[in-house]
Structure formats: C-alpha cells, structure tokens
Amino acid sequence: MIIIMLGAPATGKGTVASILSESFSIPQISTGDMFREQIKQGTELGKLADSYMSKGNLVPDEVTIKIIEERLQQNDTKNGAILDGFPRTIKQAEELDKILTSHNKQVDLVIDLVSSEEEIIERMANRRVCSNQNCKAVFNTVLNPPKQEGICDKCGSDLIKRKDDNVETIKNRLSTYEQNTSPLVDYYKQKGILRVEEVSQKKGRMGIDVAKDIERTCKW
C-alpha cells in the first residue's frame, strides 16, 4: 500500500509516518531527510538542495522526482511505502502516478494533517531533531522533551535545531505550502482517497493520536 502524508511543515507528518511505517511494515520515505543526508555528505545534489531549502523554497521538480523514482525501485518498497514530504506540487503528483502505474501500484491513502498557523509556528520553534542520521528522532522542547536536555533518548546523540526552523524561513515555507502544495488536497479529494485529520495540542490531538486512529481503521 502507498500512503502519502500531506500537510504544512511541522504538522506532524514525520511522527505519523514513522508510527505507521512500523505498524504496517513498510518504509518511510522522506524527501527532506534524503536531501539533508546529501547536504551532510557534501554532494553536488546536496549543495543544490541546500540553496533552496535554506530559504524555505522547494527543490526543483526534476531533481525531486528523480530521487523518488530511484528510491521506489528499491526492493524494500515492494509491499508499499509511506511518502513523507512528497509530492509537494501537482507536477510531482502526476509524475508519481505514472511511476506507480508502471509498477502496477497506486496511491491508496492520502493523510492531510491540518493545524492552526499559530500552533505550527510554535511547534517549529520548539522542534529538535537527533543529529544521528540513522536515528532521526524528533523531539519538542515543550510537548515532547527528551529526558536529558539536548540529548536523544533513543541513541544518546546531540539534539539540534534544523537550519530551516527559524522565523524568517518558516514564513516562507508556509506560503510555499499554500501556493504549491495545498492544491494537492483537491487533487486527491477528487480521487476519493483523502483523509483529513486535525492536529492540535489545544484539543489534545497530536500526531500519535492520529496514527492510532488510522491503525485502528485501516486494516491491510
């Protein structure tokens, strides 16, 4: 089964994706993580991606589609995948449909996480990620703090703030989302595979609660 995580930055896509990845035994594929890995390794692709990501702009479609196409050829995706952060444009969604059709697959479910701008900005400001590329655990200094400040509970590595989680970039990421990615909501609604889920700390409904509901109601 192929699941897509939609939703503005810091709505909890990664959290929901990692829980579902374990319970459905299919890999979580995050284009943001793939780009960050390339940046860390200092590759040409990494340098190119960084020039867009650091400003809160989207990496060009050709580049992004190519890395997803290659990733979906790997054997661990034979039973499906959870795409976390892809597609982000109509062009990417159309190309994804073509790639999946050529593998006799299709998008089965699209989870759209919705949250207020106020909560999104707060979550981004408080987000800390594990610096260990093989761990990638995500914490929140207020909502989900690590046991020891600045240290990952899972692997003991240092926690860091993502370079693009700063006030200036956040605003641009939100408007990029509105402009380029939100049209995908209608694209998938028309296909009848969209599931909208609200994420709100005020209402006591976080990514983990959404994931549990989806586990309960989607039996594969």
20 contact, one of ligand ADP, Zn ion, none, CB 5-8 Å limit per kind: none
Choice from 2, 6, 16, 53 touching ligand ADP (CB under 6 A): 53
For position 10 contacting ligand ADP by CB under 6 A, the verdict is yes
Cα–Cα dist 145/136, whole Å: 15
Choice from 37, 45, 48, 52 touching ligand ADP (CB under 6 A): 52
Backbone φ and ψ of 25, nearest 5°: 50, 50
195 is catalytic: no
173 is catalytic: yes
For position 128 contacting ligand ADP by CB under 6 A, the verdict is no
For position 2 contacting ligand ADP by CB under 6 A, the verdict is no
C-beta of residue 136 within 8 angstroms of C-beta of residue 157: no
Among 36, 105, 127, 136, the one annotated catalytic: 127
Beta bridge partners of 161: none
- Number of amino acids touching ligand ADP (CB under 6 A): 21
Q: Taking the CB of residue 96, how many other CB atoms lie within 10 A of it?
A: 21
Place of tokens 């960050």: 36
C-beta of residue 29 within 8 angstroms of C-beta of residue 68: yes
List of residues contacting Zn ion (CB under 5 A): 130, 132, 135, 137, 152, 154-155, 157
